[in-house]
Chain A
């Protein structure tokens, strides 16, 4: 296959990847988009195999074996993973992209002739620059994602781990990294190459351990972005346009998602990166003083009031997913709809543990996507709603974010549930939320607290209807 033809086919693959993201602009076109992505991937693989066929029989066997193992494992994981575990799955996948980037660069370093970037020990300096950037970002993505995976899957505490002098250590590591990158470009020595790998692996760990559990939606988006830049770095080394285009797409996608998540939490990207948030804050909200009594309600009361309402807005949070209450919730919504009540769902951008997580969980429970609304689209509707039904959410409904300038979450965009006629809160207890801040809404006159397990309470409401 001529070099021009294969370059053209890689371009086609790149365009298909762009179309696959374009498809996600609406659920109706999204499945077609995913198909475009698969076709693009097939074209890229076929083009490589046709233009640079494996050198001998052994190589062919290795290729088939690797695809069978990797494909098999991937397919099984994809089928089995529960939707609540999507964040850790995505983190694990990011780590694989990072490691693959490191290994591909290592392969290119030891057999540069196969990649057309020189001969062993005599690789073009420019390729070495591109390669070392790909390796460094790839290694950092790998360990960073592994830590994120451990934290998200609760195999490791979500509390931030703060090392003494961590900023100094990180800066020293970064400087050493630059030193060895320059060394690699000048000397092309294997020692420099592996030093870059080791330093970047260490930096990845140190960058993620100080970031607390509450900031994980940002971290996971950020690592998404890194995995893209790593791929782009390798794309430059290989001179492959499909890889460069994809790397740029994924890199900017992750960056935008990080921005959206930061904005939704009213946190600056820098302060998330510097870490230390979410964990030690539980002590903070102690000074609120006055303990007004909260109005407690029963499932029967809730069922009665809701049946007689004309509009109910449901605000689900991660607590709902933890209690696995989404199916019971859908049942409740169906009953209400049968009674002629208008039901809508309101989703805060950080309702789940990754961007869009709550939407997937609701979709899994067969909630139609056209009943689910984003914060900006639904906030004005709370005033016309008879009931705001808050299940498993807390901080994202806290009016202190708009009213109390001294609150740590002041300025964070929140769902204005307090504007509804009655606010119903399903919560385990009156304790504060993830950010450790008391919610004044619990003690207001038009609030009804339904204490208990989200799933049980919802089931009881369904029974009472």
Chain B
């Protein structure tokens, strides 16, 4: 209690985001209609490919150390995989959702 302005580790903030997002996910997913559970899986697949962010960082590293080349190589493959998922996931979801039609009266 000596310092009122003691710094909180950024990890705690990240953890808070994580825990709250788990709860948001819990409520949002329960409200998804069972008829759309397959699109739910394909779209969660697509959005979990936001890991592309890490792949972009790895591909883009400057060539400063011996590890940089490795990082670029791993990043490149990761980027290809993530892109397959992003494009494939969103497009196949779109294709499925386009098929759900209401009764024509």
Contacts and interface: CB of A to CB of B under 8 A. Distances in A.
B39 A356 contact: yes
A74 B87 contact: yes
B42 A93 contact: yes
B84 A369 contact: no
Contacts of A108: 54, 57-58, 71
Interface string A324-364: 00000000000000000000000101001011110110011
Contacts, number: 402
Nearest to A120: B67
B38 A356 contact: yes
A439 B94 CA distance: 39
Nearest to A40: B47
B74 A45 contact: no
Interface residues of A, number: 121
Given A14-B21, A25-B33, A356-B39, A78 B95 contact: yes
Given A107-B72, A238-B54, A253-B25, 17 more contacts: A25-B33, A26-B33, A44-B52, A66-B80, A93-B85, A97-B51, A111-B68, A115-B58, A231-B50, A236-B11, A248-B25, A256-B30, A363-B96, A368-B104, A369-B100, A369-B102, A372-B35
A461 B48 CA distance: 46
B79 A63 contact: yes
B38 A357 contact: yes
A153 interface: no
Given A34-B97, A107-B58, A70 B87 contact: yes
Contact of A66 (B43, B62, B76): B76
Contacts of B87: 70-75, 78
A120 B66 CA distance: 9
27 contacts: A10-B53, A21-B25, A21-B32, A21-B44, A24-B39, A27-B33, A27-B97, A41-B50, A41-B86, A52-B60, A59-B61, A75-B87, A78-B90, A107-B55, A109-B67, A110-B71, A111-B70, A114-B57, A114-B68, A120-B67, A224-B45, A232-B18, A238-B53, A248-B22, A248-B25, A354-B37, A364-B99
B47 A54 contact: no
B25 A25 contact: no
B35 A111 contact: no
Contacts of A97: 45, 48-49, 51, 81-82, 85
Contacts of A63: 56, 59-60, 79
A34 B43 contact: yes
Contact of B28 (A48, A111, A249, A251): A249
B47 A55 contact: no
A248 B20 CA distance: 9
A114 B26 contact: no
Interface residues of B, number: 85
A31 B54 contact: no
A69 B35 contact: no
Given A63-B59, A252-B22, A363-B96, A79 B91 contact: yes
A55 B32 contact: no
Identify which of A49, A56, A65, A355 gathers the most chain B CB atoms within 10 Å of its CB: A355
B94 to A, nearest CB: 6
Interface in A382-401: none
Given A17-B50, A104-B74, A224-B44, A71 B67 contact: no
A113 B65 CA distance: 10
Contacts of A253: 25, 29, 40-41, 44
A126 B10 CA distance: 11
Interface in A233-280: 234-254, 256-257, 260
Nearest to A368: B103
A252 B45 CA distance: 13
Contacts of B96: 83, 86, 360, 363
A452 B75 CA distance: 53
A62 B88 contact: no
A77 interface: yes
A106 B94 contact: no
